[in-house]
Amino acid sequence: MAIGFQVGMNYYPIGSGDFLYSFFSTVAFNLEHKKWGKKYPYIMKELYQGTLKSTHINSAIKELSDIQEKLSAHSPDDIVWDIEDLKKQPPWGKNIADTITTLANYFITCDGEDFINVFERALIDAKENQTDLIIQ
């Protein structure tokens, strides 16, 4: 079942729940030293629970920018599909496009868009409309 970000009446498709969990797992493992939400509490704790409050959107935008910068220093080989089972691999294994050069551009939505760009658009939409961002 596909999931996405809901911002008011706007919906940003992402892909499977496993795909989104992989993003969170990759961030926690590679950027937070396996301590989920320690460095990025708004994205990794609040949003992960389902809803990012409108009052925390600006903080989440800053977190996402830092995540993107830090992930760009990691190779695609550093992907974590499931932090609870590090042996699990993405369904496509290591068969990825040549255009994927770092973890910052590893995640591609079900619509073929860069996940971090879609995430950023959803956050900006939520900021402009002063509304919550919901994982739907």
- pLDDT tens-digit series, residues 31-42: 999 999 999 999
- pLDDT value at 118 more than 90: yes
Q: What is the pLDDT of residue 29?
A: 98
Quick check: 96 and 69 in contact, CB under 8 A? Answer: no
Which is nearest to 67 in space by CA: 48, 36, 43?
A: 43
Q: What is the pLDDT of residue 123?
A: 98
Given its phi and psi angles, is residue 15 left (phi above 0), alpha (psi -120 to 50 degrees) or beta? left
Which helix (H) or strand (E) covers residue 11, if one does?
strand 10-16
Q: What is the pLDDT of residue 121?
A: 98
- What is the pLDDT confidence band of residue 64, given thresholds at 50, 70 and 90? very high
